[in-house]
C-alpha cells in the first residue's frame, strides 16, 4: 500500500500499537488540547476520520492513505468528507462532487462564490456532526484552510472537543514574497503539516508550524508501477510499456507523439488547451505524422470540456483517462516530448519535458 511515510507518521502520532497508549502529539497550536485519537477510538470502537480533497491530485493522495490506514488500524475505520472517485473506491461517500470546490484564482471563484460558501458551510456542519477523531485536508488550500479555520472556531465557540487537524501538501510559501512569514498564522487551525518537498518542513518549523517531510506522490507512482512491471521496486525510474501502447492505439511506427497534460481543473484546462491546439497547428506542417496524447483528469467538467475541444483538434489525438498509473506511463514511453504543468517527473522518466503553467493563485 502507498501513502506510506505519511501513514507511518500518523500512526506514530496516533499510537496505533498498542491502542491504549497516550498520544504524544506534536502540535503548533498552543491553545488546543488533544485527547489521544486512538484512545478515543478504543472507547468508541472505531476510528473516525474526516477527509477533504478538493481536486484530482488530492483524491489520489488521500485514497492511498485511506487504504494504508485501513490495514494498520487496530479498529474499524469510518470515513466521511469530500473526495473523488479514488476515495470513493476506498469507502468514502462524498458529501458532494469535488468539482463544486475545484476552483483556482479569485476571478474564477467569483461566479461560483455562492456555491463555494454553501459547500463550505455544509462541510463544517457535517464534520461537527461526524465527531471525528482526526481531520485531514489535502491540498486545495483555498477551501481547506477556510474549512479548518471555521471548524476550529465552531468547536471553540460550542466548547466541543477539537480533533487533530492535519493538512497534506504545504502551500507554495517559497514562491511568494513574504510567504514564510505567513506560515505562523496557519498554526491557529493546522496542527501538523505533511510536506511533499524536501526542506519545506524545516522552514515551517522555523516559522512556528509543526511539519514533517513525507515524500512526493510521484515516487509512489513509480513504486506502484515497478510493483506491477518488475521485481526492482526500489529503482527510482519509471518504465512504461510503449510497444503495447502503440499497438492498442494504432500509433504508426514513424509518428512523432507529444503527450499533453493540461491540468485537473476546468479553469486551467480551458486556458491551456487552446494554447496546445495552436501549437499543434503551427507544428503539423513541419513535423511529419504528428500525433498528440491528452491525459484527461477524472473530473466531470474537464472530461466534458476536452471531449468537445478535440472535435476541432488539428492533428490525430488519443485521449487517456486519468486515474491509472500504468496507462499514464505507457503513454509517456512513446513520447519524445511531454508538455505538462507540473515538475519532478523528468527526474524519473526518460523523456524531454516542456513545462507550461498558468496561475492566478496567491499563497494563503
Average confidence (pLDDT) over 277-302: 90
Alpha carbon distance, N-terminus to C-terminus of the chain: 32
Residues 272 and 200 in one domain: no
Domain edge (last residue) among 186, 215, 244: 215
pLDDT of residue 7: 55
Number of domains in the chain: 2
Residues 272 and 290 in one domain: yes
pLDDT of residue 360: 40
Lowest mean pLDDT segment, chosen from 3-17, 25-39, 57-71, 101-115? 3-17
Residues 23 and 172 in one domain: yes
Q: Is the residue at 138 inside a domain?
A: yes
The angle formed by the CA atoms of residues 144, 180 and 50, to the nearest 5 degrees, is 20
Distance CA 81, CA 96 (A): 9
pLDDT band at 99 (very low <50, low <70, confident <90, very high): confident
Phi/psi class of residue 359: alpha, beta or left (left: φ > 0; alpha: ψ in -120 to 50)?
beta
Most confident among 53-57, 213-217, 313-317 (mean pLDDT): 313-317
Residues 285 and 345 in one domain: yes
Arithmetic mean of pLDDT over the chain: 79
Give yes or no for residue 83 having a pLDDT over 90.
Answer: yes
Q: When comparing pLDDT for 314 and 116, which is higher?
A: 314
The angle formed by the CA atoms of residues 265, 179 and 50, to the nearest 5 degrees, is 50
Give yes or no for residue 263 having a pLDDT over 70.
Answer: yes
Instruction: For residue range 323-348, list pLDDT tens digits in order.
Output: 677 777 788 877 765 555 444 444 44
> The CATH number of the domain where 325 resides is what?
3.40.50
Instruction: For residue range 188-244, list pLDDT tens digits in order.
Output: 999 999 999 988 999 999 999 999 999 888 777 777 666 666 555 455 566 677 888
Distance CA 212, CA 196 (A): 9
pLDDT of residue 21: 30
186: cell is 496557519
Taking a C-beta distance cutoff of 8 angstroms, is the pair 55, 140 a contact? yes
Average confidence (pLDDT) over 8-36: 47
pLDDT of residue 361: 40
Distance CA 11, CA 298 (A): 30
Domain extent for 340: 224-355
Average confidence (pLDDT) over 102-113: 61
pLDDT band at 89 (very low <50, low <70, confident <90, very high): very high
Strand partners, 81: 51, 94
Domain edge (last residue) among 183, 215, 247: 215
Residues 314 and 280 in one domain: yes
Q: Is the residue at 74 inside a domain?
A: yes
Domain edge (last residue) among 164, 195, 215: 215
pLDDT of residue 109: 59
Lowest mean pLDDT segment, chosen from 102-111, 243-252, 283-292, 302-311? 102-111
pLDDT of residue 6: 56
Q: Is the residue at 364 inside a domain?
A: no
Q: Is the residue at 204 inside a domain?
A: yes
pLDDT of residue 96: 94
Residues 258 and 316 in one domain: yes
Q: Is the residue at 362 inside a domain?
A: no
Q: Is the residue at 268 inside a domain?
A: yes
Taking a C-beta distance cutoff of 8 angstroms, is the pair 36, 15 a contact? yes
Residues 72 and 200 in one domain: yes
Distance CA 244, CA 231 (A): 20
Lowest mean pLDDT segment, chosen from 140-149, 335-344, 345-354? 345-354
Residues 166 and 255 in one domain: no
Q: Is the residue at 361 inside a domain?
A: no
25: cell is 502529539
Give yes or no for residue 82 having a pLDDT over 90.
Answer: yes
Residues 137 and 281 in one domain: no
Distance CA 271, CA 246 (A): 29
Residues 350 and 281 in one domain: yes
Q: Is the residue at 99 inside a domain?
A: yes
Distance CA 99, CA 77 (A): 26
Residues 21 and 140 in one domain: yes
Q: When comparing pLDDT for 357 and 127, which is higher?
A: 127
Q: When comparing pLDDT for 146 and 56, which is higher?
A: 146
pLDDT of residue 112: 66
Q: Which residues of 63-84 are buried (b: 16+ CB within 10 A; e: fewer)?
A: bbbbbbbeeebebebbbbbbbb
SS (H, E, C) 161-229: CCCEEEEECCCCHHHCCCHHHHHHHHCCCCCEEEECCCCHHHHHHHCCCCEEECCCHHHHHHHHHHHHH
> The CATH number of the domain where 78 resides is what?
3.40.50.11930
Residues 289 and 272 in one domain: yes
Q: When comparing pLDDT for 299 and 41, which is higher?
A: 41
Amino acid at each position: 500500500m502507498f501513502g506510506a511515510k505519511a501513514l507511518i507518521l500518523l500512526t506514530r502520532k496516533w499510537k496505533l500499537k498498542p491502542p491504549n497508549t497516550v498520544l504524544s502529539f506534536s502540535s503548533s497550536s498552543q491553545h488546543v488540547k488533544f485527547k489521544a485519537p486512538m484512545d478515543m477510538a478504543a472507547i468508541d470502537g472505531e476510528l473516525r476520520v474526516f477527509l477533504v480533497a478538493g481536486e484530482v491530485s488530492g483524491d489520489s493522495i488521500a485514497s492511498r492513505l485511506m487504504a494504508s490506514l485501513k490495514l494498520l488500524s487496530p479498529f474499524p475505520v469510518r470515513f466521511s468528507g469530500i473526495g473523488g472517485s479514488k476515495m470513493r473506491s476506498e469507502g468514502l461517500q462524498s458529501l458532494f462532487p469535488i468539482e463544486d470546490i475545484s476552483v483556482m484564482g479569485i476571478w474564477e471563484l467569483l461566479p461560483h462564490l455562492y456555491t463555494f460558501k454553501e459547500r463550505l458551510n455544509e462541510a463544517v456542519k457535517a464534520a461537527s456532526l461526524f465527531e471525528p477523531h482526526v481531520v485531514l485536508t489535502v491540498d486545495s488550500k483555498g477551501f481547506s484552510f477556510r474549512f479548518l479555520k471555521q471548524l476550529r472556531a465552531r468547536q471553540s465557540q460550542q466548547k466541543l472537543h477539537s480533533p487533530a487537524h492535519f493538512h497534506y501538501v504545504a502551500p507554495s510559501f517559497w514562491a511568494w514574497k513574504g510567504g514564510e512569514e505567513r506560515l505562523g498564522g496557519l498554526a491557529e487551525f493546522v496542527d501538523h503539516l505533511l510536506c511533499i518537498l524536501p526542506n519545506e518542513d524545516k522552514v515551517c518549523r522555523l516559522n512556528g508550524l509543526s511539519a514533517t517531510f513525507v515524500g512526493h506522490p510521484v515516487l509512489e507512482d513509480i513504486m506502484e508501477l515497478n510493483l506491477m512491471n518488475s521485481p526492482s521496486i526500489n529503482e527510482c525510474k519509471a518504465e512504461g510499456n510503449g510497444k503495447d501502447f502503440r499497438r492498442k492505439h494504432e500509433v504508426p511506427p514513424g509518428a512523432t507523439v507529444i503527450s499533453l497534460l493540461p491540468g485537473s481543473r476546468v479553469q486551467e484546462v480551458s486556458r491551456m488547451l487552446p494554447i496546445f491546439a495552436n501549437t499543434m497547428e503551427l507544428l503539423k506542417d513541419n513535423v511529419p505524422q504528428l500525433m498528440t496524447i491528452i491525459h484527461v483528469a477524472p473530473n466531470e467538467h474537464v472530461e466534458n470540456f476536452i471531449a468537445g475541444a478535440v472535435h476541432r483538434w488539428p492533428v490525430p489525438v488519443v485521449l487517456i483517462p486519468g486515474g491509472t498509473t500504468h496507462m499514464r506511463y505507457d503513454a509517456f514511453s512513446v513520447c519524445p516530448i511531454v508538455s505538462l504543468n507540473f515538475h519532478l517527473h523528468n527526474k524519473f522518466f526518460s523523456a524531454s519535458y516542456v513545462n507550461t503553467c498558468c496561475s492566478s493563485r496567491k499563497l494563503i
